[in-house]
Amino acid sequence: MADAPLPHPLGASADDAPLYAPRKQIYPQAVKGRYRTIKWIVLAITLGIYYFLPFIRWDRGPNAPDQAILVDLANSRFYFFFIEIWPQEVYYITGLLVLAALTLFLMNAVAGRIWCGYLCPQTVWTDLFYAVERWVEGDRRERMRQDKGKLTLPVLGRKALKHVIWLMIAWWTGGAWVLYFADAPTLVYDLATFQASFVAYLWIGILTFTTYTLAGFMREQVCTYMCPWPRIQAALTDEYALNVTYRYDRGEPRGSVKKNDVLKLQGLPAGDCIDCNQCVAVCPTGVDIRKGLQLDCIQCGLCMDACDNVMVKVGRPQGLIAYDTDMNVQARIEGRPEVRRIVRPRTLFYAGLMTVVGLVMIGSLAMRQSLYLSVMHDRNPLYVRLSDGSIRNGFTIRVANKTLDERRYSLTLEGLPEARIDVVGGDLDQQGRPTVTVGPDQTLEARVLVTDTSSRAEDSVPLRFVLTDLATGDTTSTNDHFKAP
Amino acid sequence: MAHDKHEQVDAVSGVTTTGHSWDDIQELNNPLPRWWLWTFYACIAWAIAYCIAYPAWPLVSSYTKGALGWHSRDAVTADLDALKQQRSGMTAKLAASSLDEIRQTPELFAFARAQGKAAFGDNCAPCHGAGGAGAKGYPNLNDDDWLWGGSLAQIDQTIRHGARSTSDQGHSGSMPAFGRDGMLKREEILQAADYVRSLAGLPTDKSANLAAGAKVFADNCAACHGEKGLGNQDLGAPNLSDKIWLFGSDKATIVEGLMNGRGGVMPTWHGRLDDTTIKALTLYVHSLGGDQAR
Ligand code: SF4
Ligand code: SF4
């Protein structure tokens, strides 16, 4: 190829493609079948949870909100049924995120992008929007014909109706979101009477817009171009993960029913695929699964339903497209036995990690106290010398009372027998110990002075602050140090 | 990265390549999705509009001001006003309550301490240190030794009017320069210094004539510092018998004080800080090591 044109300095060549590729409109066809049913059920459950969860009540007593799930930003609390999370405990949220990531990894190890196909919000809402579109404008053929034809008034009317319904769903989606951040019934009333805060309307606006654009217009483009998961997922998966697979060992060479029947009679190779293109027609991302596993395929399984329906009609066994691995396809071609291994080191590892994280979280939730104490040593100065020569250290303590009643706590010291402890602004209990009083569900910051009259040589002595609930006797403690010259 | 002239078209996909190849993996020259390109154009348009609307480009000694007239200083002022507005309830309570009342109300006390801490960092820290630890000549506010008194009222008075300051209501009183002004002979100053160290229980030279020092002290120093050197907070005369030394306890430092006199200045904050800020400062400083901790 000596006469090939010289490459462009930036690598582009004269016969470059245009600057942009117009999107190919996809008209997925409706399909019925096992996986479609599963998807409908998942859609109903997940959207049901999302839209109605804020209305579930959970009695926490008179001083606390009774919403089962509530992100109370104003008071920095997160309520999740019987769990109440304080700002100091955001690690529970971290834990939940770690669990979520591990779940995703496990799903990926078992069945590839199964999350994308069934559970991802983008898929679920796009599916819903497609359902609306089909209901208003008809199935694949009608829509294609309509979009090719002139823009008549009835067509315009149908399109308008579709967008109105889409916008209503989108608006409800944004509306449900803000309900997680305030008392839902009150907020619904406030929203309806235009008394709710600007932020609430703003968020509804933002989420209405994103839902409408992402689920209505961007659709498969989100999965193909915007979402990072397909990229990460590709790096995490392995050859044992089940994927929606066209079993080309069985399907090829494809041909019409008649042609292949003839071929078979002649003893020539003939596959089961009748090249009806049904699997492509139903695909929401426009993939031809027969070309193998592709980045665009979200593993929704609809092509499996479509093909199964075709196979039933032509009287051939189902499962020409099925959850399988390329490794097995290859194995069958070469006459080796298939390997199906759901339980393998990778899945065991993820499942094990999930169990560990889950148990740690449950354990720490069960053992966590209604009382919290943190201590911070003064940094400047680390210590002061008093006029009588004794040494004093200053500390800032923060006490959180997670109960719903006002509590009084005494503060005592372990580790420095001769030291005296004072709480600035606090009073003493009957035994002469300094106390702090904290209101229900509140925190209090106080200054604590520890004065040591002994003349010791060490410049740092471990200390333990012990906080005791005077009513219940509950205690909690924190370690720090006493510094001396 | 290698340029390979011979492979302009990818055999599998039929798409031209950019000529870039990494580990034999080629980069296809696929066009961009339309929405992506438009987003890119929209960003450029946004950037241009932003440059016109807002301050954006540095000039030699100024910058482009922007068509909207937006100014970061105005934004900060607006934020500050909003903050003041938000705190006005507590601030009003602070203004209306006496120091003792505030100290007895935990919620107000916490608010005052937080506000006082911020004001301290802005105004007092240059001399007294960020945590009030002080330095040579600048009192440590965390200990229990107070030149002008450590009660709430006394601290309030000191902050408001200062010491040896421009305010005629401020504390006055200073240590005379006994040596420089020729009031005492060098011999007497050395004797007095030895005696003062003995008052605080510090070791003195064997040769020290403590009796003579005591005489010098009684005649010249006791008027302010008291007969036993316990100090006098009305005059800002430090207690000489304790373990806290503002300038240092070695003999040379004491001699230097006797020779040249002492008299640190605390500025008057009345009129420079508003009343509530001074209150908050008082409560904060008091909580560091006020009289309650004695
Ligand atoms: S190829 Fe099949 S599984 Fe993949 S997205 Fe299309 S219909 Fe879904
Ligand atoms: S639906 Fe099945 S039979 Fe029809 S083209 Fe696809 S794989 Fe072939």
Q: Does B136 touch chain A (CB under 8 A)?
A: no
Ligand 2 atom nearest to A254, measured from its CA: 8
Q: What is the pLDDT of residue A168?
A: 95
Choose which residue among A29, A250, A278, A314 to substitute to test ligand 2 binding: the one with the highest number of ligand atoms within 8 A of its C-beta: A278
Per-residue pLDDT at A15: 52
Nearest-angstrom CA–CA distance, B105 and B82: 26
Q: Do B29 and A381 touch (CB under 8 A)?
A: no
Q: How far is A445 from chain B (nearest CA, A)?
A: 7
In one letter, which amino acid is A321?
A: I
Contacts of A317 (CB under 8 A, 6+ apart): A272, A311
Candidates B15, B130, B243; nearest CB to A389: B243
Q: Is B232 on the interface with A (CB under 8 A)?
A: no
- A477: alpha, beta or left, given left = phi > 0 and alpha = psi -120 to 50? beta
**Which residue of chain A comes nearest to B110, CA vs CA?**
A445
- pLDDT value, residue A40: 96
Contacts 24+ apart (CB under 8 A), A338-347: A339/A240, A340/A240, A341/A240, A342/A110, A344/A109, A344/A240, A346/A109, A346/A238, A346/A240, A347/A106, A347/A109, A347/A110
> For the segment A101-137, what is each residue's pLDDT rounded down to a tens digit?
999 999 999 999 999 999 999 999 999 999 999 999 9
Q: Over 90: is that where the pLDDT of A357 sits? A: yes
On the question of pLDDT at A63 being above 80, the answer is no
User: What chain B residue is nearest to A382 in terms of C-alpha separation?
Assistant: B133
Judge whether B112 and B280 are in contact, CB under 8 Å. yes
The whole-number average pLDDT for the span A165-194 is: 92
Residue A196 has pLDDT above 80, yes or no: yes
Q: Average model confidence (pLDDT) for chain B? A: 89
Q: Mean pLDDT throughout B108-126?
A: 93
Which residues have a Cβ under 8 Å from the Cβ of B46 and sit 6 or more positions away? none
The pLDDT value recorded for residue A279 is 94
Amino acid making up residue B262: R
Tell me the per-residue pLDDT of A65-78, one tens digit each, with 9 for 90 and over. Answer: 889 999 988 888 88
Does the pLDDT value for residue A81 go beyond 90? no
Total count of residues recorded for chain B: 294
Ligand number nearest CA of A274 is: 2
- Nearest-CA residue for ligand 2 atom 7 is A273
Please tell me the distance from the alpha carbon of residue B110 to that of residue A230, in angstroms, as a whole number.
52
Q: Does A273 sit in the ligand 1 pocket, CB within 6 Å? A: no
Top mutation candidate among A113, A300, A309, A320 for ligand 1, by most atoms within 8 Å of CB: A300
Residue B12 in this model has a pLDDT that exceeds 80: no
pLDDT digits (tens, 9 = 90+) for B51-77: 999 999 999 999 998 899 899 899 999
Q: How confident is the model at residue B293 (pLDDT cuts 50, 70, 90)?
A: very low
Ligand 2: which residues within 6 Å by Cβ?
A 246, 251, 273-279, 290, 306-307, 310, 320-321
CA atoms of A153 and A341, how far apart (whole Å)? 57
Label residue A33 by pLDDT band (50, 70, 90): very high
What is the per-residue pLDDT across B70-91, written as a single tens digit (0 to 9) for each? 998 999 999 999 998 988 888 8
- What residues contact residue B107 under an 8 Å CB cut-off, 6+ apart? none
The pLDDT value recorded for residue B138 is 94
Q: In this complex, do A425 and B16 lie within 8 Å of one another by their Cβ atoms?
A: no
Q: Residue A387: which of B29, B36, B242 has the nearest Cβ?
A: B242
Residue A64 is predicted with a pLDDT of: 80
Q: Is A300 in the pocket of ligand 1 (CB under 6 A)?
A: yes
Q: Express as a percent the part of chain B with pLDDT over 70.
A: 97
Average pLDDT over residues A84-101: 88
Is the distance from CB of B106 to CB of A406 less than 8 angstroms?
no
Q: Which pLDDT tens digit goes with each residue over A312-323?
A: 999 889 999 999
Centre of ligand 1 to C-alpha A297, Å, is: 5
A153-179 vs A198-213: helix crossing angle, rounded to 10: 130
Residues of B in contact with A447 (CB under 8 A): 113, 287-288
Residue B1 has pLDDT above 80, yes or no: no
For residue B251, pLDDT beyond 70? yes
CA A53-A170-A306 angle, to 5 degrees, is 90
Q: How distant is the alpha carbon of residue A144 from its chain centre?
A: 35
Most B CBs within 10 Å, among A384, A452, A453, to test the B interface: A384
Q: How far apart are CA B279 and CA B251, in angstroms?
A: 39
- Beta strands A407-414 and A460-469, pairing class: antiparallel
Range of lowest pLDDT (A201-210, A423-432, B173-182, B195-204)? A423-432
Angstrom distance (rounded) from CA B246 to CA B231: 13
Phi, psi of A349 (to 5 degrees): -65, -50
Cα B143-B149-B151 angle, rounded to 5 deg:
85
Non-local (6+) Cβ contacts of B95 within 8 A are B275, B276, B279
Is the CB of B287 less than 8 angstroms away from the CB of A424?
yes
Which is more confident, A24 or A49?
A49
Judged against a pLDDT cut of 90, whether residue A160 lies above it is answered with yes
Q: What percent of chain A has pLDDT over 90?
A: 53
In this prediction the pTM is 0.68
Return the pLDDT at A18.
65
Chain A residue closest in CA terms to B103? A425
pLDDT above 50 (res A13): no
How far is Cα B108 from Cα B104, in angstroms, rounded to an integer?
8
Mean pLDDT check: name the lowest of A9-23, A96-110, A145-159, B199-213: A9-23
Q: Which residues of B touch A388 (CB under 8 A)?
A: 242-243
Q: Which residue in chain B is spatially nearest to A218 when comparing CA positions? A: B35
Q: Is the pLDDT of residue B6 over 80?
A: no
C-beta of residue B29 within 8 angstroms of C-beta of residue B19:
no
Chain B hits for A380, CB-CB cut-off 8 Å, are 129-131, 133
Specify the pLDDT at position A251: 87
Between CA A313 and CA A220 the distance in angstroms is 30
User: A467 CA distance to ligand 2 centroid (A)?
Assistant: 71
The gap between the terminal CA atoms of chain B, to the nearest Å, is: 75
Q: Report how far apart, in Å, the C-alpha atoms of A253 and of each of A270, A272, A283, A318 are.
A: 5, 8, 22, 17
DSSP string over chain B: ----TT--B-TTT-PBEEEEEETTEEEE-PPEEHHHHHHHHHHHHHHHHHHHHS---B-SSSB---TT---HHHHHHHHHHHHHHHHHHHHHHHHHS-HHHHHH-HHHHHHHHHHHHHHHHHHTHHHH-TTS--BTTB--TTSS--SS--SHHHHHHHHHH-BSSS-TTSB---B--TTTTTSS-HHHHHHHHHHHHHHTT----TT--HHHHHHHHHHHTHHHH-TTS--BTTTTBPPSSSS--SS--SHHHHHHHHHH-B---B---BTTB-HHHHHHHHHHHHHHH-GGG-
Whether residue B16 lies within 8 A of chain A, CB to CB, comes out as yes
Residue A16: band (very low, low, confident or very high) from pLDDT cuts 50, 70, 90? low
Q: Is the pLDDT of residue A184 over 50?
A: yes
Average pLDDT, chain A: 88
Q: Under an 8 A CB cutoff, do A11 and B37 touch? A: no
Among A7, A18, A379, the residue with its CB nearest the CB of B131 is: A379
Nearest Cα neighbor of A191 from A201, A176, A206, A199 is A201
CB–CB of A278/A140 below 8 Å? no
Per the model's pLDDT, the better-predicted residue between A269 and B78 turns out to be B78
- Binned at pLDDT 50, 70 and 90, residue B245 comes out as very high
Averaged pLDDT, A324-329: 92
